[in-house]
Amino acid sequence: MTLQLPHEHGKNIDTILSQSPSVTDFEIVADLFRQLNDPSRLRLFWILCHCEECVINLSSMMEMSSPALSHHLRQLKLSGLITSRRDGKEMYYRAADTIQANALHKIIEQMIEISCPDTIEHGGKD
């Protein structure tokens, strides 16, 4: 079935629509972007792209209370951007090793024109 559009511009829109992800797929992406609508959360994510760290140290690094930090960590974890592991009483967090987390890391750095600390220290590796 061919979709009849109000204006015909000579393009085959049926091909585009047949290959389009579902509305649910776009809802997942929109939810992820909503999670990132906070500069502190983006900064926290960027830090976790470069190190694995415990809540107490992250709280100090971010100059944020542990409850506030925990809220941001929970949101990032729910979005799949970070992972955690327990070591005794301490919980450690780091960026997830996923396509989405890696892409976001690169986007952040490109948007604010910075380089990874590892890139600077190791002569341009990335």
pLDDT in tens, 78-123: 999 999 999 999 999 999 999 999 999 998 888 887 766 765 444 4
How many residues are listed for the chain in this entry?
Answer: 126
pLDDT at 126: 44
Kindly tell me if the per-residue pLDDT of 33 is higher than 50: yes
At 53-76, the pLDDT tens digits run: 999 999 999 999 999 999 999 999
